[in-house]
Each structure stands twice: as structure tokens, then as C-alpha cells.
Structure 1
Amino acid sequence: MEQTMSELTSSKTPEEEAVRQAAAVVQVVTLIAVLFTALAVYLTIQTGGAWQAYQFIILAAQVIVASLVSVNLIRSGRPRLGAWIVFISNLIAPVWAALLISKLGYVALAYILVTVYFTILYVMPNEAKRTTMLLAIFGLVITLLTELINPAWRLVSPLMLIASPILTTLLGIIFFMVILRQAWSGNIRTRLVTSFLIFVIVPLVFSGLISSLLIRQAAQTDTYNHLSSSATLKEDSVNAWVSSMSETLKLVFHTYEETDIVHALLELENEGSNTQSGETDHGAVFADTTNDLLTILSKTVVFDEIFILDQNGQVVVSTDETQVGKLFANQSFFQEGLKGEYVQPPQYSQSLGEVIVYASKPLLDEHGHAGGVVAGRANLDLLNEIMLADIGIGNTGETYLVRSNNALLTASRFEGYTAGDTYIRTEGVNTAIQEKSTGTTSYVGYRGTPVLGAYRWLPDLELALVAEVDQTEALQTAVTSTFTSLGVAVIAALLAIGAAFFVTQTIATPLGKLANAAERITAGELDIVVQIERQDEIGVLAETFNSMTTQLRETLEGLEQRVTDRTRALETSTEVSRRLSTILDQRQLVREVVDQVQTAFNYYHAHIYLFDEQKENLMMVGGTGDAGQAMLAQGHTIPKGRGLVGRAADTNLPVLVPDVTQAEGWLPNPLLPDTKAEVAIPISLGSNVLGVLDVQDDEVGELNEGDVELLQSIANQVAIAIQNARAYQGTQQQVAREALITHINQQIQSTTDIEDALKIAVRELGRALGTQTSVKLKKTDSGNGQKIVQKPE
């Protein structure tokens, strides 16, 4: 690259220098094409030989061939033909590639921008530059429309999600380095073009990158929060499923029936009877029991089989006749079932040929002694339904359970991944199983696609619960925003090139005439007249040659000011777009939070309290329903430390009351007569408590630790949002004060007379304070020539 740049600036005859510059540019373009060929080959391997990837290789290869042919033509004295060959090949190839590969469009835009700039500036003859510029604009528009429409035939590859921003940035860096080098070398025409582009593109690119990074981070954080919440809800559902099995077993027998069965089991064991024959005196008891179990099984979907084992672990009664007589003495569900209620973690059953889950409890006699075990084989279809239920994250979001041996327990929502036959060893699953931990991270999913995931370890069942969504879908908004920013930057750069060439043409041509005139004057032609009939600064420059430097500087300053104004407008637009995704108004924030919390989780009531300035009282600043509006209108407050809300604010700890009638210090509210349970969550940043999120329900016991964990997560986000809103409000007030001071200073500095300065100062202060003010100056002669200024009371 350094050698190429040396060739661009070497000292040769004009014709030889033009040939060297054109050849050097084509060599740079060839190097870029080689890099894209390598990308095409890797993409072909990564996609398993997709036809779009093969065409991408052909396009990149033809650019290399065309560039090599072009170099030979330029060096052999046919630069025009060589210039058109390299231009057309480098315009068609990226446009066609963008039609084939998804997410390649913005890379193609940057590629066209770089190659077109170099080709037009150094290779194309002057008479062809306008035509090539129009063709380049047409190609850029087609490429941009392709990326926005995204045709169905385009190849989608995770590789391009990573490669596209990197390649676009790399091309941007190359472009920036070259034009920066050109800003310090060459003639005035080149300096004008490169300076114009630097002032337009650099701020635009940096602001776009920063905005894209912030949007991506926010999207990733939101996705992790959603996945964690979904995993929490799924865990609660699994626990409810486990509880339902235990409750169903409790309801199998009445107390007296259970005692009769225990007696029958004990007598049967003492007599040494054959439990499979059914010909003993206890056969009637077991037959009735079998019928009862069949009736219960028909009314519940929790179990596929319910059976009774004696003290030796042998099945004596079962809803599945084929299981009677089987021995389960070594199974943990039997051994633990003699001691109390137990749910055995999933295990593979050789006899049944499937993964099973057993729930068990002891059969007790009237003295509380275990005479046997009643057990149930769980219906895992219910577990599949729980995991397959939509988690509300697009088309690729899913939750599933994995056993401790990495085998998939529940069905996948994607075809080709069968429970029991599929083993998942992703980073999220391995971390959950090996470290028995909970967390969120990004990794490659079991389908080979990058995902964002939240994982949890369920110790009772020895299972890993995972919630995942493809990164492509989760971060689609951020990716779209990034590519949109890049597209805007490319279009702006193209417009800047056109504007730069136009402005340069109108300035550099007359300046060239003036430079030629200056050389001729230096040579002694003092009578030369510069024929430039213009009414602008250059016209004045032609008439007053001695002010040439001053006039040129003013022209350049005018250009720089226009560039700065445009850049500032683009930055402001970007900042406004970013703030649209964040609520910066505290009232709106509070209203949105309470409404969303109440609506999303169907709570009876939700409201938010914030501390006053003295940190002594909590003021209700937002609540749901008519009750919330009434309390807000009344200015409802709670002293710190009083009631559940005051206690949460004082201790900076959540306060959960499942039954308010049993809570000491609970403060009833006549506007909320149906409150039966309440939880108060501190809204805090570390040890700094800002307020309290209070949620109430109209059923006893409906609020639990799961609600506390969920609401605490929301409260933490609310605390950050409130801090941001307050910081934003404070910043706005400070800016307003500084603007007012600046405005008054400017008004005062605009005059040189003390009387006018005093009048302006008093007038502006009066406007700022909203009062009528005036000043009168009285001139008196004190005998020493001094002026005495008096201000009326």
C-alpha cells in the first residue's frame, strides 16, 4: 500500500504520472477483489456449496481478471478502454452480489463508493467522469433497494452478520486513510474534494457506529431480560407440574381405604401369597383398588400409570396389568417413597423404552407406619406442552429441558431434533449442568446458529431449563438500524462526492486561471488581464488580485460552515432517533410501568411511590385505575418506615405479605377494599432508595417469591430509568440557564456604549425573571469631568 501511494505521488511527466496513478489504483482495486474472493470461498464452504456462493466466487474472480486486463491496457497506451473495463466490472459485480447474498448490500455500497471514487478520480478521463458518476449513482440505488426489499432468493448466512459490519468498516477505513493522505498532497482541486468528504463522512460514520452499538446493547439486554423472565415462568410451571403429581397421589385414597390396603399388603406378605394370582382373600381388596386407580387415572392427565408396591418393592396393583409383579426395590422412587413424598428425576427405562418420571408417597396405617408405596408414572406430554408454549420472542424463541447427561428431555419446536435421541452440548447447557448455575449468555445453539440464551438448573429434577432465541431475530432491530445508518452514510458520501466535484469545478477552474496569471505575472507579464466575468468572491478576486488569499480563505470557511451545519443536523437527527426508544419523562415512565405491570400480570392494583426531597415521606406518583387517579389527586403520601411501603423504603428490602390480614403494620386503603395480598419492592440504586413499587392482589397467597424476583428486576430497571430521566431533566435546566447567560452576554457584547449595555442587561434580566424593569442614566458634572450614573429605586 505504501508503495502504491508512492507511485501516486512520484515525479514524472504529466502523461507518465497519469498512467502510473491509474495503474496503481487498479492494483488497489485488485487487492480488494482478492479479499472478497477469499470471503466468497469461505462462504461457499460454510454454506455447503450454495449456488449463490458459487456465483459470488465467479463475480469476485471476474473483477480480478478485469483488473489485470485493465492494468495491461493502461500501461500499453489504451487507458480509456482499461478505465471503462475496471469501472464496469467493479460496478456490476457488487450490485449482482448484493442480489445474491443477504446482508452484503451495505458492504457492496461501501465497495462501490471506494472503487468509484478511486476510478473516477485517477483512472477515468475528464470527459467521462459525469457519465460514470451517474452510472455509479444508479448502481448504488439498485443495491440499496435490494437490501431494503430483501428478495426471498438471497442466501442467508450467520457469517455475513459478522463479516458485513467488519468489511464495511474496513472499506471505510481504507477510504478515509487514502483521502486523508490526499488532503495533504496534490493540487487545490484534490484538496477541496478530500476535505469536503472528510468533514461530511467522519462525523456521520462515528455517530452512526455509536448509535448502532447503543441500540444493539439495548436490544440484547431486553432480550436477556425477556428470556430470563420466560425461564422463570417455565420453572414455575414445571414446579406446579411436580406439585400436581404429589397432590394427585394424596387424593388417590381416603384414609380408611389406605389403611385397608396397608393391612392387606402386610397380611399378604406374612402369608407369602402369590400377588399375581388374585386367588387369596385379599384379591377382592386389590381388585377394588385396581378399579379405583383406573377411575382416577381416567379423570387425570398427570399420570400414564398409577400402581402400588409392597414393602419389598413389588408391584401388587397397577392400572397397567403388564406391570403387576415387577420389582422396583432398587429404584429411588420406591426407597424414598417409603420415607415421604418424592419425585424421581427423569431416567431411561429399558423395559418401557422411554424416559420416565416417577412420583411416589408412602401408604400409612393408622399408626403412621409405611406398609407400601403408591406411585405414578408421569405423563411427559404435559411437560412438553409447558416447554412448547410460546414465550413471545419471535419465530425462533423456545424453551426446553435437558437431562444431566445432556439428552434432550422435551420436544424441540424444530424438526429433526427428537427428545431422547438428541444430545445438546451447547455452552449454556454445559454451564447449567456442570456448574449447576443460572445465567444468560450468547453462544452457538444446538442447531448451529448463534443464539441468545438464559439457562437455569432445576436441582430437584436434575434438569437444565434453557430459553433461547436466534441472535439474527433477537437483534434484527439493531442490525437493521446499523445497516440503515451505514446506508445513509454511503448515500451521504455519494452526495458529498457529487457536491465536492461540482463545487471544485466552480472554484478550481477560475483559480487555475488566476494561478496561471500569477505565474505569468511572475514571469514579467505585468499587463495580463484575467478574463473572469463573475459577481461573486472569485470575480472580486479577479479584479483585486492582491486580496486573492483573503477571498479564497473566506470561500473555504463558507464551505466548512455548511459542512459543519449539515453534520450538526445529522447528529441531532441521530440523537432524536435514539431517544425515541427511551422514555425520559418521569411521569410518563411511572405511568407506563404501573400500567404494564398491572396489565401484564393481572394484578389487582399497582402504584409507585417516590421519596420527597427530604427523604422523609413517600409520595404516590402513579397508580392504576380510578383508585390510582384518586390517590394521585389527593396527594397520597406515606411516612418513611410506616406500613409495608414505608418499611421497604426504610430497609431497602422487598416486603412480601401473602395475607394482609395476618400482617403487622399493614395500612388498609378504603379505595382498595379488595386487597388480600401485597408486595412492596424498593426502587433503588445500590443503597440509594428512590422509591417503592407497590403491587396488590385480590386473592390470598397469589403473591409469592416468584413475584418478588420478577418485580425486583422491573424495579431495578425503573430505578435506572428514573435516574436517567432526572439526569436528563437536570441537564436540560442547566443548558437553559447557560443559554440564557450566553444570550445576555452576547447582547451586552454587541454594544460598545455603557448606557446601551446597562439597558440590555436590565431588559434581558427582566424578561428572564418575568418582570418589568427599566433604567435611567443621568449625567451630572461633579466638577472633575466624571459621569454619575443613577438608577431609580
Structure 2
Amino acid sequence: MQSNIRRNSIRARITIAFIVSAIFPMVLVGAILGWQSYRVQSQQALDFESQVAQRVATEVDAFFQELVSELRSVIEVQGLLGLDADQQEAALFELLSYTDLFGELILLDERGQEQSRLSRVAVFTPDDLDDRSQADEFVIPKASGETYYSPVRFDAGTGEPLMIIAVPLVDLRSGQVRGVLVADARLRKIWDLIRDVHLNLGENVYIVEEQGRVIAHHNFSVVLRGTRFDLPDQDGVHIGLEGARVVLATDSVKYGEQSFIVVAERAISEAYALVNNTMIILALLVVGALVLATGQGFLTIRQIVRPVEALATAAQAISAGDLSQRVLVTSRDEFGDLAQAFNTMSTQLDDLITGLEQRVAERTLALEQRSAYLEGSAEVGRAAASILDVDI
């Protein structure tokens, strides 16, 4: 019975109402804000890596444009088609000496026959010149009039990535392809490009070719080991190059049929550091607000319930016969008015009962006195009757 009363008490009902109406909404709002903050800042972390990938991809694109620009400058500025064989070879030699972007230059005529071939590591005689009429670096530019880019291959000795770039020599009058300038481009410069990228803590940037092989990384040994990486279908949280969970974003540059994918990734613990810190701060704020709200709530509940409990205790004491019981008036609100009225009622009831008791006592005393008088009179009567009986 007592447990049922406590369970259905005003304190219990007000406490439950407070939890439902105040604490639960606060927890819900905190959870919603936390989720929103997590989602927004997670997206910001991904956007940041995406920007890094785009910036590096722009630099890679500029590098390849530089390669093609150097070749076109020989063709167009020096008028390679209009030069004789010696002058053509001299122009190619000048380009090879001017820049280290190319390891070898080959000039093909309109039938795909090598007319001149210069290299940094070897000397070629007229007898060494070969027929490339069936090679992709001749067939594709000849047919399409577009620059050809070969798949990336790697130097067996140095591990340096190499690519054949073939630029058609177009006769401006007839629009016919009169030859092809083939260059064995050295892509080592993109190693320097990746090495110069400023990396944040836990961040990594590298370039992958279409087949998944890493061709540029700030750690050269990764490239030299022939490391491969399976690119995810979309940006987001994935397993990174080193096997850990990372925030990963990509951007690609395409040349002919060849694509190069720039990958920017950052360890999730570092990428989400701000997210985690924000969640911790938000959680502390919510907990602090809950503590303050709970404390204030229970203080308010106490201020409401204690006067009621005091009234209930006094009423129970009075019902047990203790009419001297009074309620302490501690406030001037409705509870104070109620306590004052209760005390007035208790005083009036006490006075009434005391008065009744006094009147009963007085009546009892009067009755006792009258009874004694009557008993005395009766004794006198009986004594007188006895005397009369003796005389007779």
C-alpha cells in the first residue's frame, strides 16, 4: 500500500512530468544538433580533401600541357615540316638539350618511317632507324590528327614512369598529316610535384594510373615497389593506401585514352578531429545543461511538494489527535496562504474542542455536585425515617 502511495505521489508525478517535458526534449535536441554537426563537418572534411585533389590535378594537367606545348613549339614555331633533315635533327637536339622532360625524340614521316632519332642515353645511326607504321604512336595520330598518349610504363633501372606522346605534323594548306613527332616523356616531375604538396597530419596524396598502379607518391619506395590501389566508386570514408580508414577524395585528368587519378586521403582520426572535438563539447554542454536543469527542476519540485507534504503530515497528526500540530509558513505565495489557513483552522478546531471539553467538564462537575447533594438529601431522609420508626 505504501509503495503504491509513493508511486502515485505528487512528487513522483511531477518528477515524471518534468523528465518528459524538459529533460527528454533537451536530450533529443542535443542528439539532433550533434548529428547535424557531425554530418556538416564530415562533409567539410571530405570537401577539403576534394579541394586538395583538385589542386594537385590542376598542377598535373599543367605539367602535361607543358609537355605538349614544348613539342608543338618545335613543330609550329620552328616550322619543322619546312626544314631539311639536318635542320630537323638540329631542332630536335636543341629541344632535348633545353629541357629534361624528354628522354628520346623521334621524327616519323607520313609513312611511319623514322627520319631522325635522338636520345639522352644512346646514339642512333641511319642504320638504326626503324619502321613504326604499325605502331600506335603513328597509326592513331595519323588517322585522327590528335595527340596520342600511351599507357604509362616504368624504367626497369630507375623505376621512373615514362609515357610516349605523339603529336601529328599537319600541313596547314592541305590539312593532311605529313608526319608525327614522337617523344618519350619522363614523368619524374610529377614526383617532385607530389613531394612539394603540403600535407597535414595524417594526410597523403598520390597519383594512380588506370590500371591501379601508383605512379607518384611522396615516398618514392611506394612507386618502386609497384604498389597498386583499388579506387573506390565514390568519394567518402574508405580503406586507404596503407590499410587504415581514411576520408578519401579523387580527381582525374584524362589525356587521350589515358586517365590519371589524383587521390587525397586523410586518416579518419585526424580528418574528424574537429568533428570529435565538437561532439565532445556539445555533449558536455548538453550534460551541463541537463545537470543545471535537473537541479533547478528538483529544487522547484521540492519547493512545490514540501509544503504539500508538510500539510499532509500535519493533517495526519491532527487526525491522530495531536491538535497542537501546526504548519511552518515559509512563503507568501498560495502555499503560504494555504498553510496560514490550515493553521487558523487547526487553532479554531483546537479552541472548539478545548471549549467543548471545558463545558463537558463543567457539566460533569455540576452533575457530580447535584448527585452528591441528592445522595446527601436521601441519607438525611433515610435517617429521619429511622428516628420516626423508633419513636412509634
If the length of structure 2 is used for normalisation, what is the TM-score? 0.65
Gaps of 5+ in 1: 1-10, 18-183, 262-284, 432-438, 548-793
Corresponding letter in the other structure for 2:7: S
Deviations 1:734-759 (A, max 9, x none): xxxxxxxxxxxxxxxxxxxxxxxxxx
Corresponding letter in the other structure for 2:96: L
Residue number among 239, 246, 270 corresponding to 1:444 in the alignment: 239
Alignment of 1:634-649 (within 5 A): none
- Displacement, 1:451? 0.7
Distance 2:174 2:188 in 1: 38
SS at match of 2:122: helix
Cα–Cα, structure 1 residues 394 and 207, in superposed 2: closer, same or farther, change >3 Å?
Answer: farther
Distance 1:229 1:326 in 2: 47
* Equivalence for 2:189: 382
Deviations 1:219-258 (A, max 9, x none): 3455555555555554444333323222212333633676
Alignment of 1:449-598 (within 5 A): 449-456=245-252, 458=254, 460=256, 461-500=258-297, 502-503=299-300, 508-521=305-318, 523-525=319-321, 527-537=323-333, 538-545=335-342
1:203 matched to 2:25? The reply is: yes
Cα–Cα, structure 1 residues 187 and 465, in superposed 2: closer, same or farther, change >3 Å?
Answer: same
Distance 2:168 2:336 in 1: 107
Alignment of 1:194-273 (within 5 A): 194-223=16-45, 231-252=53-74, 254-255=78-79, 259-261=83-85
Gaps of 5+ in 2: 345-392
1:425 matched to 2:247? The reply is: no
Distance 1:452 1:528 in 2: 80
* Equivalence for 1:296: 95
* Equivalence for 1:359: 165
Cα–Cα, structure 1 residues 389 and 347, in superposed 2: closer, same or farther, change >3 Å?
Answer: same
Deviations 1:430-473 (A, max 9, x none): x3xxxxxxx64443333322314244463622333444445554
Deviations 1:99-121 (A, max 9, x none): xxxxxxxxxxxxxxxxxxxxxxx
1:332 matched to 2:136? The reply is: yes
Cα–Cα, structure 1 residues 300 and 481, in superposed 2: closer, same or farther, change >3 Å?
Answer: same
Cα–Cα, structure 1 residues 496 and 320, in superposed 2: closer, same or farther, change >3 Å?
Answer: same
Alignment of 1:600-639 (within 5 A): none
* Equivalence for 1:578: none
Deviations 1:18-48 (A, max 9, x none): xxxxxxxxxxxxxxxxxxxxxxxxxxxxxxx
1:408 matched to 2:237? The reply is: no
- Displacement, 1:404? 1.7
1:322 matched to 2:146? The reply is: no
Cα–Cα, structure 1 residues 485 and 364, in superposed 2: closer, same or farther, change >3 Å?
Answer: closer
Distance 1:302 1:195 in 2: 77
Residue number among 346, 358, 383 corresponding to 2:151 in the alignment: 346
Pick the structure with more strand per residue. 2
Distance 2:30 2:55 in 1: 37
Q: CA-atom RMSD, angstroms? A: 4.4
Cα–Cα, structure 1 residues 217 and 546, in superposed 2: closer, same or farther, change >3 Å?
Answer: farther
Corresponding letter in the other structure for 2:230: R
Deviations 1:574-617 (A, max 9, x none): xxxxxxxxxxxxxxxxxxxxxxxxxxxxxxxxxxxxxxxxxxxx
Deviations 1:540-587 (A, max 9, x none): 33332399xxxxxxxxxxxxxxxxxxxxxxxxxxxxxxxxxxxxxxxx
Corresponding letter in the other structure for 1:421: G
Distance 2:80 2:222 in 1: 48
Distance 1:531 1:213 in 2: 51
Alignment of 1:53-68 (within 5 A): none
Cα–Cα, structure 1 residues 496 and 367, in superposed 2: closer, same or farther, change >3 Å?
Answer: closer
2:207 touches 2:215 (CA, 8 Å); kept in 1? yes
Cα–Cα, structure 1 residues 501 and 239, in superposed 2: closer, same or farther, change >3 Å?
Answer: closer
Distance 1:492 1:345 in 2: 64
SS at match of 1:375: strand
Corresponding letter in the other structure for 2:136: S
Distance 2:337 2:219 in 1: 75
2:23 touches 2:294 (CA, 8 Å); kept in 1? no
- Displacement, 1:309? 5.5
SS at match of 1:241: helix
Distance 1:541 1:257 in 2: 112
- Displacement, 1:188? 4.3
Cα–Cα, structure 1 residues 190 and 527, in superposed 2: closer, same or farther, change >3 Å?
Answer: same
1:426 touches 1:446 (CA, 8 Å); kept in 2? no
Distance 1:308 1:506 in 2: 98
- Displacement, 1:338? 4.7
- Displacement, 1:326? 8.3
Distance 2:174 2:83 in 1: 9
Distance 1:226 1:442 in 2: 13
Cα–Cα, structure 1 residues 190 and 454, in superposed 2: closer, same or farther, change >3 Å?
Answer: farther
SS at match of 2:216: coil
Deviations 1:354-404 (A, max 9, x none): 43111123468999876764322223133334455648x954555533212
If the length of structure 1 is used for normalisation, what is the TM-score? 0.35
Distance 1:305 1:331 in 2: 16
Cα–Cα, structure 1 residues 528 and 377, in superposed 2: closer, same or farther, change >3 Å?
Answer: farther
* Equivalence for 2:349: none
Distance 1:256 1:454 in 2: 39
* Equivalence for 1:58: none
- Displacement, 1:406? 1.2
Cα–Cα, structure 1 residues 248 and 355, in superposed 2: closer, same or farther, change >3 Å?
Answer: same
Distance 1:541 1:301 in 2: 99
2:137 touches 2:150 (CA, 8 Å); kept in 1? no
Corresponding letter in the other structure for 1:444: I
- Displacement, 1:478? 4.0
Identity over aligned pairs, percent: 20
Cα–Cα, structure 1 residues 354 and 379, in superposed 2: closer, same or farther, change >3 Å?
Answer: closer
Distance 1:463 1:495 in 2: 57
Distance 2:168 2:304 in 1: 98
- Between 1 and 2, higher relative CO (CA 8 Å, sep ≥ 6) is seen in 2
Corresponding letter in the other structure for 1:512: E
Distance 2:332 2:224 in 1: 80
Structure of greater Rg: 2
Distance 2:343 2:255 in 1: 89
Cα–Cα, structure 1 residues 238 and 515, in superposed 2: closer, same or farther, change >3 Å?
Answer: same
SS at match of 1:535: coil
Cα–Cα, structure 1 residues 298 and 185, in superposed 2: closer, same or farther, change >3 Å?
Answer: farther
* Equivalence for 1:637: none
1:208 touches 1:485 (CA, 8 Å); kept in 2? yes
Distance 1:442 1:227 in 2: 11
Distance 1:535 1:313 in 2: 110
Distance 1:223 1:212 in 2: 16
